[in-house]
Structures are given as C-alpha cells and as structure tokens.
C-alpha cells in the first residue's frame, strides 16, 4: 500500500473497473505498538490516488471508528470517535475518502463506498493455527478446557463473510451510472 510508484504502475497497466480494499492491519495490540505502520496500512491513499476516475473503490472499514456506546445505533452519518489506534487509522482514511467524494476534486478520484463492518467471521483459515480473531481465540481457549477470561464491557455484532461477499457482489453488479446513487 505504501509504494505509490509501484501501485500507480500496476493500476495503470490493469485499469481496474472495481477495486475492493480488504487489506488492513487489524490486530489491536500491533496497532497500539506501531501506530505509524497502522496508519500506513489502514489508510491506502496511494491506492485510491492511482485509480482511474472511472473505477469503483469499495473500502472495508470497521465499526471500531465509533466509540462503542451500546445505547447508540450508528448509521452512515454518525460522527466517528475511535478509542484505539486501529479505529483512529481507519477513521482517518474514511474521513479522507468521504472528503474526496464530497469535495470539489470528486471528479478526479474514483467513486467510492465505505463498508463499516463489524467482526467478520467465516470458516477458519487453513493457515491460521492460533487465530487472532475473537471467535478463533475463543475456540482455541475452549478446546484447552480451562477457564476463559473474556470481555465484560464490549457488545459487538458479527458478519458472516459470505453475507459480506453478497453485498460486495451486489454493489459491483450495479451499472456504473447507478453506483453514485447507491446507498453509501
């Protein structure tokens, strides 16, 4: 994400119609230890700036851009108020991307949609033996047959990966002229 020249060269050759950004540095502990790298990984401006204006950019963000008040229902217009470095890095990019879409230079960049997903779950990845996501971690802990110390102050929803793929497929199947009017 950070080699702007290589990204620009590759995208110039490919001329993609759609780019789905699934990349992230999402391990909260790693983000806290290395905020600079978290921002580099979670705010791929060079990627967006290298896309042709006719392309469609779908960015997977996170619900962690919000403060997490369990009495609040967050929507697209809710103000961001991240509580950790991961959320801050994602919020910074989301804000930049929204400003690009709404600003006077909007015609220079691709049309973009931000999907703020909660915990994405699916089948365990075959190369992930320990699991860094909560459900993978919990599964590992429960298999060890000992006590499990978990969070008592966090309420989150889960998104099945195949449901997320369906939403992305639906967005990408829209005719180009309808993407601008799609709910964002």
> Highest-confidence range of 26-35, 119-128, 150-159, 173-182, by mean pLDDT?
26-35
More confident residue, 118 or 48: 48
pLDDT band at 34 (very low <50, low <70, confident <90, very high): very high
- Percent of the chain with pLDDT strictly greater than 70: 84
* Residue 19, pLDDT above cutoff 60: yes
* Residue 130, pLDDT above cutoff 60: no
> Highest-confidence range of 92-96, 124-128, 157-161, 179-183, by mean pLDDT?
92-96
Quick: pLDDT tens for 87-126. Answer: 999 999 999 998 888 876 656 778 899 999 988 887 766 5
pTM score, whole prediction:
0.83
* Residue 61, pLDDT above cutoff 60: yes
* Residue 4, pLDDT above cutoff 60: yes
pLDDT band at 163 (very low <50, low <70, confident <90, very high): very high
pLDDT band at 153 (very low <50, low <70, confident <90, very high): low
Round the average pLDDT of the chain to a whole number and report it: 84
Helix H, strand E, coil C: the string for the chain is CCCHHHHHHHHHHHCCCEEEECCCCCCHHHHHHCHHHHHHHHCCHHHHHCCCCCCEEEEEEEHHHCCCCCCCCCCCCCCCCCCCHHHHHHHHHHHHHHHHHHCCCHHHCCEEEEEEECEEECCCCCCCCCCCCHHHHHHHHHHCCCCCCCCCCCCCCEEEHHHHHHHHHHHHHCCHHHHCCCCC
């Amino acid at each position: 994400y950070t080699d702007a020249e290589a990204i620009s060269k590759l995208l110039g050759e490919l001329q993609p119609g759609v780019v789905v950004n699934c990349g992230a540095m999402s391990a909260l502990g790693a983000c806290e230890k290395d905020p600079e790298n978290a921002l580099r990984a979670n705010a791929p401006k060079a990627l967006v700036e290298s896309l042709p204006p006719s392309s469609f950019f779908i960015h997977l963000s996170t619900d962690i851009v919000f403060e997490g008040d369990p009495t609040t229902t967050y929507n697209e217009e809710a103000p961001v108020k991240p509580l950790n470095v991961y959320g801050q890095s994602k919020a910074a990019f989301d804000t930049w991307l929204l400003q690009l879409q709404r600003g006077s230079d909007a015609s220079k960049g691709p049309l973009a949609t931000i999907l703020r997903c909660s915990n994405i779950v699916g089948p365990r990845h075959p190369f992930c033996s320990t699991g860094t996501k909560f459900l993978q971690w919990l599964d590992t802990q429960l298999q060890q047959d000992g006590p499990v110390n978990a969070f008592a102050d966090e309420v989150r929803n889960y998104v099945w990966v195949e449901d997320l793929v369906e939403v992305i497929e639906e967005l990408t199947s829209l005719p180009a002229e309808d993407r601008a009017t799609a709910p964002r």
